[in-house]
Amino acid sequence: MASSPPNIAQLVVDGLRSSKIDTLFCLPGVQNDDFFNVLFDAHDITPIVTRHEQGAAYMALGAAQVTGRPAAMCVVPGPGMLNAGGALTSAYWAYARVFALVGQIPVPMQGKGFGVLHELADQTAVLRQVTKEAFAITDPVDATRLIQGAFDAVHSGVPRPVSLEVPANLWTQPADGHITTPEAQTAPVDPDAVERATALLAKAERPLIVVGSGAYGASASIIELAEKMQIPVTTRRQGHGVVPTGHPLFVPITVAHEMWPDVDLVIGIGSRIEWPLLQWGYDADLDLIQINIDPEEIDRHGITTVGILADADEACRALIDATEPTTRPSIAADLAGRRAAFNEATAHLEPQRSYTAAIRDAVPDDGALVEDVTQIGFAAHLFYDHLAPRKFLTTGAAGTLGSGTAVAIGAAQASDSPVVGIVGDGGFLFTATELATAVQHDINCNIVVFNDNAFGNVKRIQKTRFGADRTIASDLKNPDLQAFATSFGVRPWKTDTPEGLRDTLREAIDHEGPSLVEVSVDEMPDPWPFFRRPRVRSKEPGVRR
């Protein structure tokens, strides 16, 4: 007797399993009840129930970032999907492989405006704006193809979120076919492009490498290429750790700006390079090699000299094989002098420098640091000693205030190494209730809250721009964070010095279970002059050669 075909819920579970996704960050609801009924019997997939849909999506983001593999979340339609939208936007700009399983109202009711529970006029249109691909099942005939397509997409190409919508009336519907193991598809390296890039490298006198998150898997080859050709390496935000900050060829973004007027070749590796090109300018004397798996980034600015659409490591290996070592002398001494001058120029940024050093002392070398939008998070871009890729997690261009606690919980759940989230008191309360999730599921996350009873960055900017007596909507009245943490079953610590943070954070990391360290701080000096540097080359954004 032939077995009956699987239903759509079973196919989705098969897709999770074939993708080696063993955790589902979720918040259940009536439109997805039939899916969770099937998930009940999938003992190899653990549901992590969160206290808010944004928490589910942020946790999937953290898990995907720290591992480099797809992570999954599931929410109900309408308000549930919208609540997760900020986190999906963050995953989009953080380049994270998040699989977003989203419920939908029954097919016969879609687009009718009946006002049924959780209805949106066009939910798929919203999802298209926060994912790289949005799949929506409307008929069981197409279900297997769409489910397979969604899982294939989250594994392939640009690492960004992919959504799959399943209407409430279709979960139990049978669908022919089966789900196969997704295979990541990457473009082969174009030898002609490599040859042209090699020619540029050979003639360049003052090249610069800019790395982003697309370079995470290419650390060794990038270091080899940089050393072979004596090229300094920098990053603005998401490429931290690709080349360790202690490497003789690494320079902070401020130093890269000082070098920018004389740079004659930029090699962007897994980076949008938007910061130097849009902020610092460019001209006809600047050649650009862009290495990226995203075809839209190859010539987004209209000035690329050579584009290589390929995996970063494969492209760098091809360049290494094709180039002769440079005859230029070592630049290590020059870069060391520039870094020393940078350290002297930023010495006044206290207590930020001391707090980032204290965190570095406390966090093991294999530990990950999650930044929220907060003063110490900004400082970590400039001063934290980044040792390896995927050890500094950020929302990137999204700049999402309040994501840090939930992202850290998701990263901690997916990692065997310690995870520390650094947040401000303002951002903390956005997802602080997810401490309950960490306790319920015994996730050993460590949250450090810098408490100045204000949206500190906003308040300082208001003072600087408008006057010390013209601050508005930036002061905060906070709860007792020690009692708050304790009420969840989270072990709290409190300190007000960098030395105290170093010691208490070490204790927190050694503690079994979730922990919170509150750091009382005052207003901090402004680091932004060392990020936002003036234009030093002539062309404006959007001006082609």
Mean pLDDT in the chain?
Answer: 96
Question: Among 88-97, 286-295, 535-544, where is mean pLDDT lowest?
Answer: 535-544
Question: Looking at residues 23-30, what average pLDDT do you find?
Answer: 98
Local confidence band at 1 (pLDDT 50, 70, 90 cut-offs): very low
CA–CA dist 367, 91 (Å, integer): 21
Local confidence band at 185 (pLDDT 50, 70, 90 cut-offs): confident
As a dihedral over the C-alpha atoms of residue 346, residue 347, residue 353, residue 357, rounded to 10 degrees, the angle is 120
Local confidence band at 186 (pLDDT 50, 70, 90 cut-offs): confident
Q: Which of 167, 202, 223 represents a domain boundary (last residue)?
A: 167
* Single-letter amino acid code for the residue at 194: V
Three-state SS at 29: coil
User: 316 and 204 in one domain?
Assistant: yes
Question: Looking at residues 321-329, what average pLDDT do you find?
Answer: 94
**Per-residue confidence (pLDDT) for residue 539, from 0 to 100:** 65
Instruction: Give the predicted TM-score (pTM) of the model.
Output: 0.96
Residue that has been written with the tokens 């920018």 in this structure: 260
Ramachandran bin of 404, using left for φ above 0, alpha for ψ from -120 to 50, beta for the remaining angles: alpha
Q: Which of 323, 343, 363 represents a domain boundary (last residue)?
A: 343
Local confidence band at 544 (pLDDT 50, 70, 90 cut-offs): very low
Residue 540 has pLDDT above 60, yes or no: no
User: 517 and 371 in one domain?
Assistant: yes
User: 43 and 72 in one domain?
Assistant: yes
Question: Looking at residues 99-108, what average pLDDT do you find?
Answer: 97
CATH number at residue 156: 3.40.50.970
User: 27 and 124 in one domain?
Assistant: yes
CA–CA dist 450, 176 (Å, integer): 54
Q: Is residue 92, in this structure, part of any structural domain at all?
A: yes
Q: Is residue 378, in this structure, part of any structural domain at all?
A: yes
Local confidence band at 184 (pLDDT 50, 70, 90 cut-offs): confident
Q: Give the chain's length.
A: 545
CA 138 and chain centroid, separation: 32
* Single-letter amino acid code for the residue at 318: A
User: 357 and 336 in one domain?
Assistant: no
Q: Is residue 536, in this structure, part of any structural domain at all?
A: no
Number of domains in the chain: 3
User: 337 and 354 in one domain?
Assistant: no
Question: Looking at residues 399-419, what average pLDDT do you find?
Answer: 97
Distances (CA, A) of 63 to 13, 252, 408, 410: 19, 27, 9, 5
| Percent with pLDDT over 90 in the chain | 96
Ramachandran bin of 27, using left for φ above 0, alpha for ψ from -120 to 50, beta for the remaining angles: beta
Distances (CA, A) of 400 to 87, 113, 125, 266: 8, 32, 22, 29
Residue 415: exposed, middle, or buried by beta-carbon count in 10 A (0-12, 13-18, 19+)?
Answer: buried
User: 160 and 302 in one domain?
Assistant: no
**Per-residue confidence (pLDDT) for residue 543, from 0 to 100:** 53
User: 352 and 336 in one domain?
Assistant: no
Question: Looking at residues 118-133, what average pLDDT do you find?
Answer: 97
User: At residue 26, what are phi and psi to the nearest 5 degrees?
Assistant: -155, 160
Q: Is residue 176, in this structure, part of any structural domain at all?
A: no
Residue 514 has pLDDT above 90, yes or no: yes
Q: Is residue 180, in this structure, part of any structural domain at all?
A: no
User: 34 and 13 in one domain?
Assistant: yes
- pLDDT, tens digit (0-9, with 9 covering 90-100), for 196-222: 999 999 999 999 999 999 999 999 999
**Per-residue confidence (pLDDT) for residue 458, from 0 to 100:** 94
**Per-residue confidence (pLDDT) for residue 375, from 0 to 100:** 94
CA 388 and chain centroid, separation: 15
Residue that has been written with the tokens 């308000």 in this structure: 79
Q: Is residue 540, in this structure, part of any structural domain at all?
A: no
CATH number at residue 258: 3.40.50.1220
User: 357 and 306 in one domain?
Assistant: no
Q: Which of 343, 361, 381 represents a domain boundary (last residue)?
A: 343
Domain limits for position 358:
348-530
User: 54 and 155 in one domain?
Assistant: yes
User: 289 and 256 in one domain?
Assistant: yes
CB 508 within 8 A of CB 515: yes
Local confidence band at 402 (pLDDT 50, 70, 90 cut-offs): very high
- pLDDT, tens digit (0-9, with 9 covering 90-100), for 293-307: 999 999 999 999 999
